[in-house]
Chain A
Amino acid sequence: GENVEQHPSTLSVQEGDSAVIKCTYSDSASNYFPWYKQELGKGPQLIIDIRSNVGEKKDQRIAVTLNKTAKHFSLHITETQPEDSAVYFCAAIRLSGYSTLTFGKGTMLLVSP
């Protein structure tokens, strides 16, 4: 089955700095990679995603890059704000045929004012 590794487990930055979270996956058949943000006391919420036919996707201050050959993808947050503090999860899934999301272990991002 799919295995998703995520690093780092914790990340502390100053407000305004950039943050990068990296994930690797094992199943070359995985073709969809969502990122979730989980705030305290809440369930995960989708913030951005990327499909395997795209190398990069950007949405305001967040962007995701994908390297299919190396089987890794990354989340980039620029101009971080205190409200970005949360746990971020990457995930992978193979569409076209039933499959389930496999999540990484999460990265706790702390943005200090």
Chain B
Amino acid sequence: DTGVSQDPRHKITKRGQNVTFRCDPISEHNRLYWYRQTLGQGPEFLTYFQNEAQLEKSRLLSDRFSAERPKGSFSTLEIQRTEQGDSAMYLCASSPSGSLDVYNEQFFGPGTRLTVL
């Protein structure tokens, strides 16, 4: 399977614990995105990488959230001191880079469902 993969698919944790998710994009894709999706809502943008550089962060990304893409390949999203409000599906997407006036399709992974008890 050459699509976007995410690990784990499900994570249950207790409030106050730290969690880390991993995303492996499609191999030739330079851009990598993280979204959060809560029940009954569309995906909400969290952050975006062009290769290893984190170029944009949403206001949704509080100080407890940190994302990395150290070698421009896989990415990790860490949530520290989890809260019940962090319960959501965390989606990763990747796309090739290109000119700004062309939409390069974002391919989404299956997501990691986080439940904070």
Residues on A close to B: CB < 8 A?
4, 6, 9, 32, 34, 36, 41-46, 49, 89, 91, 93, 95-98, 100-106
- Least CB separation from A108: chain B residue: B40
Seed contacts A43-B108, A46-B105; 10 additional CB < 8 Å A-B pairs: A6-B42, A45-B108, A46-B106, A49-B103, A95-B103, A98-B55, A100-B45, A101-B45, A102-B45, A105-B41
**A103 contacts B42, C-beta separation under 8 Å:** yes
Number of B positions contacting A (CB below 8 A): 24
By the criterion CB–CB under 8 Å, are B44 and A103 in contact? yes
Q: Which single member of A41, A46, A89, A95 contacts B42 (CB below 8 Å)? A: A89
Question: Which residues of chain B have a CB within 8 Å of any CB of chain A?
Answer: 4, 33, 40-45, 48, 55-56, 58, 91, 93, 100-103, 105-106, 108-111
Q: Which residues of A contact B91 (CB under 8 A)?
A: 43-44
Q: A34-B103, A100-B45 are in contact. Are A44 and B55 (CB under 8 A)?
A: no
Question: Is B101's CB under 8 angstroms from A95's CB?
Answer: yes
Q: What is the CA–CA distance of A41 and B112 in the complex, to the nearest angstrom?
A: 10
Once the chains are docked, how many angstroms separate the CA of A48 from the CA of B41? Answer: 20
In the complex, what distance in Å separates the CA atom of A104 from the CA atom of B110? 19
Residues on A with C-beta less than 8 A from B105 are 34, 46
**19 A-B residue pairings within 8 Å (CB atoms):** A4-B42, A34-B103, A34-B105, A36-B108, A43-B91, A43-B108, A43-B110, A44-B43, A44-B91, A89-B42, A96-B100, A96-B101, A97-B100, A100-B33, A100-B48, A101-B43, A101-B106, A105-B42, A106-B40
What residue in chain A is nearest B48 (Cβ atoms)? A100
Given A43-B91, A45-B108, A100-B56, verify A106-B41 contact (CB < 8 Å): yes
How distant is B7 from chain A, measured CB to nearest CB, in Å? Answer: 14
Q: Which residues of B contact A34 (CB under 8 A)?
A: 103, 105
Q: A95-B100, A98-B100, A103-B44 are in contact. Are A41 and B106 (CB under 8 A)?
A: no
